[in-house]
Amino acid sequence: MINLLDLDREAITTLIADKPYRGNQVFQWLYQKRIDDIARMSNLPKELRERIASQAVIAYPSVARHQVASDTTEKFAYRLADGQIIESVLIPEEDHWTICISSQVGCAMGCRFCCTAQLGFRRNLTPGEILAQVFMPMRRYPERLFRNIVVMGMGEPLLNYANVVQAVRILSDEQGPDISTRRITISTCGIIPRLGSLWGDTRAGLAVSLNAAMDAKRTALMPINAKYPLPQLIQALRDYPLPPRRRITIEYVLLGGVNDGPADAKALVKILHGVRCKVNLIPFNPWPGAPFTAPEPEAVLAFQAYLKARDFSVLIRRERGRDIQAACGQLAGGASDGMG
């Protein structure tokens, strides 16, 4: 059975073998009325509904677990059709919410500081499984303003390229969810060959997890750096075809005593020369058994001050949902607490 959530509007029109406006109607039921039952598409002839239902379903995952942190961050663990578990996080901002979604079950990148890496790679998510993480919360909390979507959960989105691109195409379709690509950010550890086409294929924002500004140090923290080394990555960011008012987000996890010193800040300033960016500093969020500790608060402030004094815009990412293991790098599909 086909999951309608995996298909863009064109593919739905092809599937139902009817006029384009019928495809638009199906799309509106899926993404504006957000139904999960083909029989309820009441402006479609009954015979057409039956024909669609004979080939396809609208399959959402089930909620395996829902937790609310003391700071009101929410974490959802979803059980997929094959029993695999993924996690997504709802992050409260002043007047809106950000949804942080996963792109893979587990991750193959093996970053030493990331809890998801401990799971290893299990499989790619389908477009529908990626999208469902956006629409489940929207259906559950219709009164909330969900504004930003960040693909910063479990997995490396650029290693599930086609499905992530398809999900962004559906999310931004004006006949459907109509979410502006300005509100969607894709975060990568730096899969250089994909950076050449990402902007053209998505128009989404780009975040890059840099985490070290010295090549050998980065390889020690992020094994993928041996394959896609820092100098080439930075060159790819310089070449990234950003329109005038947009910037790349550089993410930098600060690990106590490892990459949070003055020499690291200096190297970062040097390497980011010519990259149109803003920097997000993420103090390390510990997880059970992690071989790192959080940086001293003074080190974080000094690191930020050094960059600021050199005209970078730098934010320290406030840690969210740490008491429910929902902060950056803590998602592990429940594997860390015996679920999943």
**Residues with catalytic function:** 87, 328
Distance in Å, CB of 272 to ligand SAH, minimum: 16
CA dist 300 and 285 (Å) reads 13
Q: Are 173 and 123 in contact (CB under 8 A)?
A: no
189 counts as binding ligand SAH under rule CB under 6 A = yes
Interface pick for ligand SAH out of 61, 205, 295, 329 (rule CB under 6 A): 329
167 counts as binding ligand SAH under rule CB under 6 A = no
3-state class (DSSP) for residue 148: strand
Q: Are 185 and 164 in contact (CB under 8 A)?
A: no
CA dist 316 and 294 (Å) reads 13
User: According to CB under 6 A, which residues from 216 to 235 bind ligand SAH?
Assistant: none
Distance in Å, CB of 328 to ligand SAH, minimum: 3
Distance in Å, CB of 164 to ligand SAH, minimum: 11
CA dist 114 and 99 (Å) reads 19
Token pair 């396809």 in the structure block, residue? 56
Q: Which of 209, 120, 192, 121 is nearest to 158 (CA)?
A: 192
- Smaller CB distance to ligand SAH: residue 3 or 330? 330
Interface pick for ligand SAH out of 191, 206, 282, 332 (rule CB under 6 A): 282
Report the DSSP pairing between strands 74-79 and 62-68. Answer: antiparallel
CA dist 86 and 333 (Å) reads 5
- Smaller CB distance to ligand SAH: residue 44 or 212? 212
Q: Residue 83 is encoded by which pair of tokens? A: 């029993």
Kindly indicate which of the ranges 32-40, 197-205, 277-285, 301-309 contains the residues binding ligand SAH, using the contact rule CB under 6 A: 277-285
284 counts as binding ligand SAH under rule CB under 6 A = yes
- Smaller CB distance to ligand SAH: residue 4 or 171? 171
Helices (H), the chain: 9-16, 20-31, 46-55, 127-140, 161-171, 192-202, 215-221, 224-227, 230-238, 262-271, 297-308
Show the site string, 143-162: x = touches ligand SAH by CB under 6 A, - = not: ---------x---x------
User: According to CB under 6 A, which residues from 117 to 146 bind ligand SAH?
Assistant: none
326 counts as binding ligand SAH under rule CB under 6 A = no
Q: How far is CA 313 from the centre of its chain?
A: 22
Kindly indicate which of the ranges 75-83, 186-194, 264-272, 308-316 contains the residues binding ligand SAH, using the contact rule CB under 6 A: 186-194
Q: Which residue is nearest to ligand SAH (CB)?
A: 329
- Smaller CB distance to ligand SAH: residue 61 or 329? 329
260 counts as binding ligand SAH under rule CB under 6 A = no
Q: What is the arrangement of strands in the sheet containing 74-79, beginning at the earlier edge strand? A: 62-68, 74-79, 85-92, 97-100, 146-151, 184-188, 205-209, 248-254, 277-283, 314-316
Question: Can you give the binding site for ligand SAH, defined by CB under 6 A?
Answer: 113-114, 152, 156, 187-189, 209, 211, 251, 253, 282, 284-285, 287, 328-329
